[in-house]
Amino acid sequence: MKILVLNGPTLNLLGTREPHIYGTTTLAEIERDLMTVGAELGVTVVCAQSNHEGELIDRIQAAHGDADGILINAGAYSHTSLAIRDALAAVALPYAEVHLSNIFAREPERRHSTLAAGARAVVCGFGAPGYALALRGLVAALRA
């Protein structure tokens, strides 16, 4: 089994970006943790990050026929991108959405996700450990 992990804009700055909201864990540390969890679960985890919407869409489309599921933190695109939502729908791969902060306790413009309705699950508010929770849940759902 193979899971694509996608991270959107500004997540490359984790660890230094607004640590009072997003914590001090870096994206590299999150990715290392996901690789460890993936090995424990016997799945291949492939991670990618982009600040560009089109590149995220290209990655989603390339996952069709290559991955079994997607774990995505589309960052601010979660709240605005119909194009990413459409790409996820087009490839028809099960996906889980993850956010470090509780988006429902944030500013009004962040309290809606265009991706959530199509997601198998949404994990938010647990900080960096939320990624591993989402990965474990997605793999369990795929194996069920």
* 99 given a catalytic annotation: yes
* 131 given a catalytic annotation: no
- Of 22, 77, 95, 131, catalytic: 22
Please report the DSSP string for the chain in residue order: -EEEEEE-TTGGGTTTS-HHHH-S--HHHHHHHHHHHHHHHT-EEEEEE-S-HHHHHHHHHHHTTT-SEEEEE-GGGGGT-HHHHHHHHHHT--EEEEESS-GGGS-GGGS--SSGGG-SEEEESS-THHHHHHHHHHHHHHH-
CA-CA distance, 35 to 125, in Å (whole number)? 21
Bridge partners, residue 6, by sequence: 48, 72
- Of 64, 99, 112, 131, catalytic: 99
Q: Which residues are catalytic?
A: 22, 99
